[in-house]
Amino acid sequence: MSDAGPTQVLVVEDDPHLAAGLMENLRAEGYEVAAAGDGEQALGWLASRACALIVLDVMLPGIDGFALCRALRERGDSTPVLFLTARGDPADRVRGLEAGGDDYLAKPFHLQEFLLRVRAIVRRWQWYRSASASPATAVLRFGGNEVDFRAFRARAWNGEAQELTEKEAMILKVLAEQGGQIVSREDLLERVWGYDVFPSTRTVDNFILRLRKRFEKDPANPQHFLTVWGVGYRFLKEGGA
């Protein structure tokens, strides 16, 4: 997924009609599209190629969409995933996002909403990658911690190696880019997840807690990830309460 060429999308859908419809529309929007009819095929395709987005059906023959997404995350593949599923209840949404998905769309869906979500995910990731492209922006050092945004790895102040999830890295990136300015929870949600994926901004709070545990010497008295009550968060590179 370079900025020069078309953006590659992989559609993993076992229903041939739906797969064909999705592919035609994605191609019409300028994406380069590949298709896989089941999880095994998708894993095979992803073993040798990369893409900007995986549109993933949940109910697949053999390995299901959730398991496929977990398998990708476990092997360090952070390619964004948009789940498509006939099961649209909140519990399933949460399951999908816990499996490492970036967004979730219940069938039947509106074409324009689908395309909007695809664009939003791709845009977020293109922003993240371009914001981490140069050696100066790829690595963040603060309070004895060192974060490598491209490898999703970090070394904490106590020398401990950390594997960051893509969401943690993106939150850190958004906060670091603001250079000490306050970022609201809503802004973080919008920049990292999109507009309506999660039901509440509590999710952001949980991720901030996780970042504090990873990088703060005393997570109960944070020096870098500061809460601005009722507004959001502020990241201080140099530390300070």
Q: Quick one: which segment of 110-118, 125-133, 134-142, 231-239 binds other proteins (CB under 8 A)?
A: 110-118
Nearer to other proteins, 20 or 231 (CB): 20
Q: Quick one: which segment of 82-90, 136-144, 153-161, 200-208 binds other proteins (CB under 8 A)?
A: 82-90
149-176 as b/e, with b when 16 or more CB fall inside 10 Å?
beebebebeeeeebebebbbbbbbbbbb
CA angle 84, 90, 92 (to 5 degrees): 50
User: Left (φ > 0), alpha (ψ -120 to 50) or beta: where does 10 sit?
Assistant: beta
**Per CB under 8 A, 86 contacts other proteins:** yes
The type of residue at 126 is: Q
Torsion sign over Cα 187, 191, 192, 195:
positive
- Footprint (CB under 8 A) of other proteins, residues 20-39: 20-22, 24-25, 28, 38
E strand or H helix at 72: helix 65-74
Give the Cβ contact number of residue 53 at 10 Å: 25
Nearer to other proteins, 112 or 221 (CB): 112
Closest to 10 measured CA to CA, from 167, 124, 104, 122: 122
Tell me how far, at minimum, the Cβ of 58 lies from other proteins, in Å: 10
E strand or H helix at 228: strand 225-228
Question: Residue 178 is encoded by which pair of tokens?
Answer: 């603001």
**Per CB under 8 A, 217 contacts other proteins:** no
- How many chain residues touch other proteins (CB under 8 A)? 25
| Binds other proteins by CB under 8 A, chosen from 8, 45, 73, 87 | 87
**Per CB under 8 A, 116 contacts other proteins:** no
Closest to 19 measured CA to CA, from 27, 8, 11: 11
Closest to 21 measured CA to CA, from 72, 68, 84, 81: 84
**Per CB under 8 A, 44 contacts other proteins:** no
**Per CB under 8 A, 91 contacts other proteins:** no
Nearer to other proteins, 28 or 220 (CB): 28
**Per CB under 8 A, 150 contacts other proteins:** no
Q: Quick one: which segment of 4-12, 108-116, 129-137, 191-199 binds other proteins (CB under 8 A)?
A: 108-116
Nearer to other proteins, 84 or 176 (CB): 84
Nearer to other proteins, 62 or 199 (CB): 62
Nearer to other proteins, 3 or 110 (CB): 110
Binding site for other proteins (CB under 8 A): 14-18, 20-22, 24-25, 28, 38, 59, 61-62, 84, 86-87, 106-112
